Structure 1
Amino acid sequence: MTEIHEYNMALRSVGREADAIPVSAVVSLGTGMIPVTELKEIDVFRPDSLFDAAKLAYGISAIGNLLVDQATASDGRVVDRARAWCSMIGVPYFRFNPQLSADIAMDEKNDLKLINMLWEAKAYMHANRSKVIEMINLLKYFTF
Protein backbone atom coordinates (compact mmCIF):
# COMPACT_ATOMS: atom_id res chain seq x y z
CA MET A 1 0.00 0.00 0.00
CA THR A 2 2.87 2.33 0.77
CA GLU A 3 4.49 1.60 -2.58
CA ILE A 4 1.25 2.28 -4.47
CA HIS A 5 0.79 5.55 -2.60
CA GLU A 6 4.41 6.63 -3.24
CA TYR A 7 4.12 5.63 -6.92
CA ASN A 8 0.95 7.68 -7.32
CA MET A 9 2.52 10.67 -5.53
CA ALA A 10 5.55 10.48 -7.85
CA LEU A 11 3.28 10.40 -10.91
CA ARG A 12 1.34 13.43 -9.65
CA SER A 13 4.55 15.34 -8.96
CA VAL A 14 5.65 14.99 -12.61
CA GLY A 15 2.28 15.87 -14.07
CA ARG A 16 1.15 12.32 -14.90
CA GLU A 17 -1.86 12.22 -12.59
CA ALA A 18 -3.90 10.34 -15.22
CA ASP A 19 -1.49 7.38 -14.85
CA ALA A 20 -2.04 7.14 -11.08
CA ILE A 21 -3.68 3.91 -9.93
CA PRO A 22 -6.28 4.43 -7.21
CA VAL A 23 -6.58 1.80 -4.50
CA SER A 24 -10.06 0.28 -4.76
CA ALA A 25 -9.85 -2.46 -2.13
CA VAL A 26 -7.24 -4.24 -0.04
CA VAL A 27 -7.31 -7.99 0.53
CA SER A 28 -4.80 -9.11 3.14
CA LEU A 29 -4.03 -12.84 3.33
CA GLY A 30 -2.14 -14.00 6.40
CA THR A 31 -0.08 -17.15 6.76
CA GLY A 32 -1.97 -18.28 9.83
CA MET A 33 -1.74 -17.26 13.46
CA ILE A 34 0.37 -19.66 15.45
CA PRO A 35 -0.85 -20.79 18.85
CA VAL A 36 0.06 -18.57 21.77
CA THR A 37 2.92 -20.05 23.77
CA GLU A 38 3.58 -19.38 27.40
CA LEU A 39 6.66 -17.30 28.06
CA LYS A 40 8.58 -18.41 31.11
CA GLU A 41 9.97 -15.62 33.21
CA ILE A 42 12.97 -13.88 31.77
CA ASP A 43 15.59 -12.86 34.28
CA VAL A 44 18.46 -10.71 33.05
CA PHE A 45 21.02 -10.07 35.76
CA ARG A 46 24.72 -9.89 36.45
CA PRO A 47 26.00 -13.46 36.79
CA ASP A 48 27.98 -14.47 39.88
CA SER A 49 28.79 -18.02 38.82
CA LEU A 50 29.02 -20.28 35.77
CA PHE A 51 25.49 -21.52 36.48
CA ASP A 52 24.26 -17.91 36.60
CA ALA A 53 26.02 -17.23 33.30
CA ALA A 54 24.10 -20.12 31.72
CA LYS A 55 20.81 -18.73 33.10
CA LEU A 56 21.70 -15.30 31.75
CA ALA A 57 22.42 -16.74 28.29
CA TYR A 58 19.04 -18.51 28.35
CA GLY A 59 17.31 -15.25 29.35
CA ILE A 60 19.00 -13.29 26.57
CA SER A 61 18.10 -16.04 24.08
CA ALA A 62 14.45 -15.89 25.19
CA ILE A 63 14.42 -12.11 24.75
CA GLY A 64 15.98 -12.49 21.30
CA ASN A 65 13.33 -15.01 20.28
CA LEU A 66 10.58 -12.74 21.58
CA LEU A 67 11.94 -9.76 19.62
CA VAL A 68 12.20 -11.82 16.40
CA ASP A 69 8.64 -13.10 16.87
CA GLN A 70 7.34 -9.55 17.33
CA ALA A 71 9.33 -8.15 14.41
CA THR A 72 8.07 -10.83 12.04
CA ALA A 73 4.49 -10.98 13.32
CA SER A 74 1.95 -11.27 10.53
CA ASP A 75 -0.76 -9.82 12.71
CA GLY A 76 -1.10 -7.14 15.32
CA ARG A 77 0.05 -3.54 14.83
CA VAL A 78 1.00 -4.01 11.17
CA VAL A 79 -2.52 -5.14 10.33
CA ASP A 80 -4.03 -2.44 12.55
CA ARG A 81 -2.10 0.24 10.66
CA ALA A 82 -3.14 -1.16 7.28
CA ARG A 83 -6.78 -1.28 8.37
CA ALA A 84 -6.60 2.29 9.72
CA TRP A 85 -4.90 3.56 6.55
CA CYS A 86 -7.66 2.03 4.41
CA SER A 87 -10.32 3.45 6.69
CA MET A 88 -8.78 6.93 6.41
CA ILE A 89 -8.96 6.92 2.62
CA GLY A 90 -12.31 5.09 2.40
CA VAL A 91 -11.00 1.84 0.94
CA PRO A 92 -12.59 -1.50 1.90
CA TYR A 93 -10.16 -3.75 3.81
CA PHE A 94 -10.50 -7.52 4.11
CA ARG A 95 -8.19 -9.58 6.32
CA PHE A 96 -8.13 -13.37 6.29
CA ASN A 97 -5.74 -15.12 8.67
CA PRO A 98 -6.79 -18.44 10.24
CA GLN A 99 -5.79 -19.55 13.73
CA LEU A 100 -3.58 -22.63 13.42
CA SER A 101 -3.22 -25.36 16.01
CA ALA A 102 0.52 -25.69 15.40
CA ASP A 103 3.42 -23.58 14.19
CA ILE A 104 4.03 -24.64 10.58
CA ALA A 105 7.44 -23.97 9.04
CA MET A 106 7.50 -22.37 5.59
CA ASP A 107 9.36 -25.44 4.26
CA GLU A 108 7.19 -28.04 6.06
CA LYS A 109 7.14 -31.44 4.32
CA ASN A 110 5.09 -33.51 6.76
CA ASP A 111 1.85 -34.37 4.92
CA LEU A 112 -0.16 -34.77 8.14
CA LYS A 113 0.79 -31.29 9.36
CA LEU A 114 0.08 -29.77 5.94
CA ILE A 115 -3.30 -31.49 5.62
CA ASN A 116 -4.25 -30.30 9.11
CA MET A 117 -3.20 -26.75 8.20
CA LEU A 118 -5.26 -26.87 4.99
CA TRP A 119 -8.28 -28.16 6.91
CA GLU A 120 -7.98 -25.36 9.48
CA ALA A 121 -7.70 -22.77 6.69
CA LYS A 122 -10.76 -24.23 4.93
CA ALA A 123 -12.77 -24.26 8.18
CA TYR A 124 -11.75 -20.63 8.81
CA MET A 125 -12.86 -19.53 5.35
CA HIS A 126 -16.16 -21.39 5.78
CA ALA A 127 -16.72 -19.69 9.15
CA ASN A 128 -16.01 -16.32 7.48
CA ARG A 129 -18.13 -17.07 4.43
CA SER A 130 -20.14 -13.84 4.70
CA LYS A 131 -16.94 -11.74 4.58
CA VAL A 132 -15.72 -13.75 1.58
CA ILE A 133 -19.02 -13.23 -0.26
CA GLU A 134 -18.96 -9.50 0.58
CA MET A 135 -15.42 -9.27 -0.83
CA ILE A 136 -16.35 -11.23 -3.98
CA ASN A 137 -19.36 -9.02 -4.64
CA LEU A 138 -17.24 -5.89 -4.24
CA LEU A 139 -14.43 -7.19 -6.49
CA LYS A 140 -16.91 -8.11 -9.27
CA TYR A 141 -17.39 -4.40 -9.95
CA PHE A 142 -13.73 -3.54 -10.45
CA THR A 143 -12.02 -3.76 -13.80
CA PHE A 144 -8.40 -4.76 -13.71
Structure 2
Amino acid sequence: MTELIYVESKGRGAMSSTARANKDKGYRWEKQGLDHLRETFPDIDPEEIQRHGTLYGVNDRGDITLAPMAFLFEMKNVQKFDLAQFMRELKRELDHNPHATNGAVVIKARFKSVGEAYSVMPFDQLLKLVRENYDLKRLLQEERRVRKAG
Protein backbone atom coordinates (compact mmCIF):
# COMPACT_ATOMS: atom_id res chain seq x y z
CA MET A 1 0.00 0.00 0.00
CA THR A 2 1.37 3.40 -0.94
CA GLU A 3 1.17 6.16 1.63
CA LEU A 4 -0.06 9.49 0.32
CA ILE A 5 2.06 12.51 1.16
CA TYR A 6 0.42 15.84 1.87
CA VAL A 7 2.58 18.94 1.49
CA GLU A 8 1.41 22.03 3.36
CA SER A 9 1.44 25.21 1.39
CA LYS A 10 2.98 27.19 4.23
CA GLY A 11 6.41 25.67 3.74
CA ARG A 12 6.40 23.51 6.86
CA GLY A 13 7.45 20.43 4.95
CA ALA A 14 5.78 17.15 4.14
CA MET A 15 3.23 15.51 6.38
CA SER A 16 1.65 12.12 5.76
CA SER A 17 -2.08 12.06 5.19
CA THR A 18 -2.48 9.97 8.36
CA ALA A 19 -0.58 12.50 10.46
CA ARG A 20 -2.60 15.33 8.93
CA ALA A 21 -5.87 13.47 9.62
CA ASN A 22 -4.84 12.91 13.26
CA LYS A 23 -3.92 16.55 13.66
CA ASP A 24 -7.28 17.62 12.19
CA LYS A 25 -9.08 15.16 14.48
CA GLY A 26 -7.28 16.67 17.49
CA TYR A 27 -8.14 20.21 16.39
CA ARG A 28 -11.83 19.33 15.98
CA TRP A 29 -11.87 17.77 19.48
CA GLU A 30 -10.26 20.90 20.99
CA LYS A 31 -12.83 23.08 19.20
CA GLN A 32 -15.68 20.91 20.52
CA GLY A 33 -14.24 21.21 24.03
CA LEU A 34 -13.91 24.99 23.67
CA ASP A 35 -17.49 25.32 22.44
CA HIS A 36 -18.75 23.09 25.27
CA LEU A 37 -16.95 25.18 27.90
CA ARG A 38 -18.34 28.41 26.47
CA GLU A 39 -21.87 26.92 26.49
CA THR A 40 -21.42 25.67 30.06
CA PHE A 41 -20.13 29.03 31.32
CA PRO A 42 -22.15 31.63 29.34
CA ASP A 43 -21.53 34.21 32.08
CA ILE A 44 -17.76 34.12 31.48
CA ASP A 45 -16.39 36.33 28.71
CA PRO A 46 -15.57 33.99 25.78
CA GLU A 47 -12.15 35.65 25.55
CA GLU A 48 -11.34 34.20 28.97
CA ILE A 49 -11.91 30.67 27.69
CA GLN A 50 -9.05 30.36 25.24
CA ARG A 51 -7.67 27.66 22.98
CA HIS A 52 -3.89 27.80 22.76
CA GLY A 53 -3.17 25.27 20.02
CA THR A 54 0.53 25.38 19.17
CA LEU A 55 0.90 29.02 20.18
CA TYR A 56 3.57 28.33 22.83
CA GLY A 57 5.43 25.48 21.10
CA VAL A 58 7.68 23.56 23.50
CA ASN A 59 6.36 25.69 26.38
CA ASP A 60 2.85 24.33 25.81
CA ARG A 61 0.32 25.76 28.30
CA GLY A 62 -2.47 23.26 27.67
CA ASP A 63 -5.03 23.18 24.91
CA ILE A 64 -7.68 25.31 26.63
CA THR A 65 -7.45 27.66 29.60
CA LEU A 66 -10.44 28.69 31.70
CA ALA A 67 -8.78 31.85 33.00
CA PRO A 68 -11.22 32.97 35.74
CA MET A 69 -10.85 29.60 37.43
CA ALA A 70 -7.10 29.22 36.79
CA PHE A 71 -7.81 25.87 35.14
CA LEU A 72 -6.39 24.27 32.02
CA PHE A 73 -7.61 21.40 29.87
CA GLU A 74 -5.41 19.08 27.84
CA MET A 75 -7.72 17.59 25.20
CA LYS A 76 -6.97 14.09 23.87
CA ASN A 77 -8.72 12.33 21.00
CA VAL A 78 -6.90 9.00 20.84
CA GLN A 79 -7.89 5.34 20.64
CA LYS A 80 -5.20 4.07 23.00
CA PHE A 81 -3.92 6.18 25.83
CA ASP A 82 -1.14 6.27 28.37
CA LEU A 83 -2.43 7.96 31.52
CA ALA A 84 1.03 8.26 33.05
CA GLN A 85 2.26 10.11 29.96
CA PHE A 86 -0.83 12.33 29.98
CA MET A 87 -0.24 13.22 33.65
CA ARG A 88 3.42 14.11 32.95
CA GLU A 89 2.26 16.31 30.07
CA LEU A 90 -0.39 17.96 32.26
CA LYS A 91 2.17 18.71 35.00
CA ARG A 92 4.59 20.22 32.45
CA GLU A 93 1.84 22.39 30.98
CA LEU A 94 0.72 23.59 34.41
CA ASP A 95 4.35 24.52 35.11
CA HIS A 96 4.41 26.58 31.88
CA ASN A 97 1.03 28.26 32.37
CA PRO A 98 1.20 31.22 34.78
CA HIS A 99 -2.61 31.52 34.70
CA ALA A 100 -3.48 27.96 35.78
CA THR A 101 -3.07 26.19 39.11
CA ASN A 102 -5.20 23.14 38.32
CA GLY A 103 -5.93 21.13 35.22
CA ALA A 104 -7.28 17.96 33.74
CA VAL A 105 -6.75 15.74 30.75
CA VAL A 106 -10.03 15.35 28.86
CA ILE A 107 -10.14 12.16 26.78
CA LYS A 108 -12.78 11.81 24.10
CA ALA A 109 -15.18 8.92 24.74
CA ARG A 110 -15.91 7.18 21.44
CA PHE A 111 -19.44 7.72 20.12
CA LYS A 112 -20.36 9.92 23.09
CA SER A 113 -21.03 13.62 23.54
CA VAL A 114 -18.38 16.07 24.67
CA GLY A 115 -19.93 16.18 28.14
CA GLU A 116 -19.41 12.42 28.48
CA ALA A 117 -15.65 12.59 27.91
CA TYR A 118 -13.32 11.17 30.54
CA SER A 119 -11.55 13.67 32.77
CA VAL A 120 -8.36 12.69 34.57
CA MET A 121 -6.47 14.80 37.06
CA PRO A 122 -4.11 14.23 39.98
CA PHE A 123 -6.05 13.16 43.07
CA ASP A 124 -4.62 15.94 45.27
CA GLN A 125 -5.80 18.58 42.76
CA LEU A 126 -9.28 17.05 42.84
CA LEU A 127 -9.26 17.08 46.64
CA LYS A 128 -8.21 20.73 46.62
CA LEU A 129 -11.21 21.58 44.41
CA VAL A 130 -13.54 19.53 46.60
CA ARG A 131 -12.19 21.35 49.69
CA GLU A 132 -12.73 24.75 48.05
CA ASN A 133 -16.29 23.75 47.14
CA TYR A 134 -16.95 22.52 50.68
CA ASP A 135 -15.54 25.70 52.23
CA LEU A 136 -17.62 27.88 49.89
CA LYS A 137 -20.81 25.99 50.78
CA ARG A 138 -20.06 26.40 54.50
CA LEU A 139 -19.53 30.15 54.04
CA LEU A 140 -22.80 30.49 52.14
CA GLN A 141 -24.68 28.55 54.81
CA GLU A 142 -23.19 30.77 57.53
CA GLU A 143 -24.13 33.90 55.56
CA ARG A 144 -27.72 32.66 55.21
CA ARG A 145 -27.87 31.90 58.95
CA VAL A 146 -26.59 35.38 59.84
CA ARG A 147 -29.10 37.08 57.50
CA LYS A 148 -32.00 35.14 59.00
CA ALA A 149 -30.87 35.97 62.56
CA GLY A 150 -30.18 39.60 61.81
Larger Cα-atom Rg: 1
TM-score for both structures, normalised by structure 2: 0.28
TM-score for both structures, normalised by structure 1: 0.29
Higher relative strand content = 2
